[in-house]
Chain A
């Protein structure tokens, strides 16, 4: 146990080792330097890190179809996507095509990061009539179209039908009070300790959409037509829902207290393990719950969003052409058009890529005619229900209040929702703080 410098001989050998290794490293770095050829059009395509190999295989198919275009793929974690993209756009390293989302459409348009597609590719307008309304609205701003769909989905109420039956109930809960009753029974019969499970982790972007969906389900609104908050009105649907969630956590103890440390995957795994019964999540999770490797796999069902109107949030994630690409000349924009056509539109009369996502990953789609595809029907019915999905889709709406600063407001809003649910703040105070922040941002962005 001595702490002295060791002998010189081995140290010297190590030093040589260091140098050799270092030279090798630099050589390797040099050797892997990228090469580009001049004759093809290079497109930079930016996505969030989900199923990269599938995307790459789609790219490969696209490049076989259009040999003159080369697509270079980059990806960033979904949690950091908004932040990293902002850095790229303003830092001058914008891609040509990027995933975007209805959340950010206004922000990206206002900052002049993405270009209106209808200006360059008027033919894309024809797709609009086949899209679900929430998807169309999510990609349209001031009459201009800004994207073609990557996928579109719903925030849905999912439950473990087996456990509900064990608790002595038939069928899905219709209101949040039903959820409370069944949950208390589940608790009492020792089937599940905390039946309701919602991801409340602060950095998980889903919470705000889930809360919107719960408010919509009761016929409520978050913002009025002029993007002024209405959630903060005393007695609003939002306040009632938030109060219900606070009670669920602190009074009835039916809401999983681990929510604040759970992101979407944590909730899915906990549900799959049979430790929770109800959740509100994007629909594609139902595919994972029923077909994935879970103890309770096969027991999960979709139900209309509890409440009075059973309305919910429909959302869309889409491919956008960046302003950067539109400035690179007609060769590039033409290639972007081909890309968008292949990835978000029809090729040979078929939605090739969107269908693939639906079949292989269970992602929802914007193009409603796909529901008539027997392959799709069969695939969805393996883990869900086409009729139920369709009736919920009819009740779905785009998120309200999507202003350029919505994404920034969302960060503070999630924090306030967390505090109210944990019982650190009254729902009214939390909603007031959310509204204050909204108005502060509104002022800041007006300047």
Chain B
């Protein structure tokens, strides 16, 4: 590669810095807002950096200790909405639901994908087409009937109900990606194992699965992020802290007249911390999974 001129490199570096700022500044703002009191935030202009950062808002969410700044009051109402105290529960619900969906995807999704990738049988194309085509349905149209199904199954306002909906929504994608992935693996080794008398499940379990692990990590990451963030169905099928996920909770808190915007910011930070960490850890799998699913083969 030939040398770049110094100004060319400087220009690129500048563009890189701008990009980093565009991505990070909103997050930085949310973190900074969560560390202040509301009256500072409402000032014109607000301070660039919190003059006296405090973790009182977080302490309130986790322990219920009302921040110093709000204590001089005759009423209990006001900027420390009690609803913020349930955020940790929402976080927990989001996590459990997302992990449940991941589990369903990795077990049933993997089994089905391997069959699609390696076996020839009548009805295969139809089954594959059916699963993929199910992604075409606009969610708005199926919202009411799905509500009806959950009621029949007595799964309204339950994490299990959410796991079921999200699994149905993520499985087609999972199966697509994994089928492509299994197909891209050289079949010789599995064939050898089969010739040696290994069962189909055995070939999947001991030969194909280890090779496909990165693909599994990718679909796992996707189903996790999707389920963690989904809003419309969580809004309509959950009604108590038993099952409400974090997006539903913070959207309600953000319009609560008692919520200080610093507490709303705490909610934002709490809700994005997990997916941000997740994206950082699983970046490679997400990246390659996306590429594979949308373009490959």
Contact = CB atoms under 8 A, between A and B. Distances in A.
* Touch A–B, Cβ below 8 Å: yes
Interface in B232-288: 235-236, 239-240, 242, 248, 251-253, 255-261, 284-285, 287-288
Contact of A265 (B157, B257, B291): B257
Nearest to A24: B99
Contacts of A53: 82, 85
Given A6-B284, A15-B217, A77 B42 contact: no
A391 B182 CA distance: 77
A26 B100 contact: yes
A75 B37 contact: no
A292 B235 contact: no
B75 A362 contact: yes
Interface string A399-442: 00000000000000000000000000000000000000000000
A424 B215 CA distance: 53
A116 interface: no
Interface stretch (A28-36, A147-155, A167-175, A228-236): A28-36
A34 B102 CA distance: 23
A90 to B, nearest CB: 9
B147 interface: yes
Contact of B103 (A19, A51, A379, A382): A19
A49 interface: yes
A275 interface: yes
Nearest to A88: B239
Interface string A77-95: 1111000100110011100
Contacts of A295: 39, 42-43
A364 B151 CA distance: 37
Contacts of B75: 287, 291, 359-362, 379, 382-383
A109 interface: no
A222 interface: no
Given A74-B240, A87-B144, A5 B288 contact: yes
Contacts of B156: 93
A21 B39 contact: no
A73 B39 contact: no
A26 B103 contact: yes
Among B38, B97, B217, B257, residue most surrounded by chain A Cβ atoms (within 10 Å) = B257
A360 B76 contact: yes
Contact-residue bracket for chain A: 35 or more
B55 interface: no
A52 B83 contact: yes
Interface in A254-290: 263-265, 268-270, 272-273, 275, 284-285, 287-288
A201 to B, nearest CB: 9
Contact of B38 (A22, A73, A269): A269
Contact-residue bracket for chain B: 35 or more
A268 B242 CA distance: 32
A4 B26 CA distance: 31
B245 to A, nearest CB: 13
Nearest to B292: A5
B99 A22 contact: yes
Nearest to A25: B99
Contacts of A75: 239-240, 252
A52 B82 contact: yes
B210 interface: yes
A50 B95 CA distance: 25
A54 interface: yes
B216 A15 contact: yes
Contacts, number: 189
A25 B216 contact: no
Contacts of A32: 159, 242
B267 to A, nearest CB: 13
B78 A288 contact: yes
Nearest to B259: A265
A272 B38 CA distance: 10
Given A8-B210, A14-B217, A26-B100, A292 B78 contact: yes
A269 B82 contact: no
A77 B251 contact: yes
Contacts of B236: 84, 87
Contacts of B151: 91-93
B214 A6 contact: yes
A438 to B, nearest CB: 26
Contacts of A6: 214, 284-285
A443 to B, nearest CB: 25
B141 to A, nearest CB: 15
Nearest to A11: B213
A46 interface: yes
B74 A382 contact: yes
A79 B217 CA distance: 38
A141 interface: no
A299 B211 CA distance: 70
Contacts of B44: 273, 275
A46 B157 CA distance: 13
Interface of B: 37-39, 42-44, 69-70, 73-79, 81-83, 85-86, 95-97, 99-100, 102-104, 106, 144, 147-148, 151, 156-157, 159-160, 163, 209-211, 213-217, 220, 235-236, 239-240, 242, 248, 251-253, 255-261, 284-285, 287-288, 291
5 residue pairs, one from A and one from B, having the closest CB atoms: A22-B103, A25-B99, A77-B252, A74-B239, A273-B42
Interface of A: 3-6, 8, 11-12, 14-15, 18-19, 21-26, 28-29, 32, 34, 46, 49-54, 72-80, 84, 87-88, 91-93, 204, 263-265, 268-270, 272-273, 275, 284-285, 287-288, 291-295, 359-362, 379, 382-383
5 contacts: A18-B103, A25-B100, A29-B160, A291-B78, A359-B75
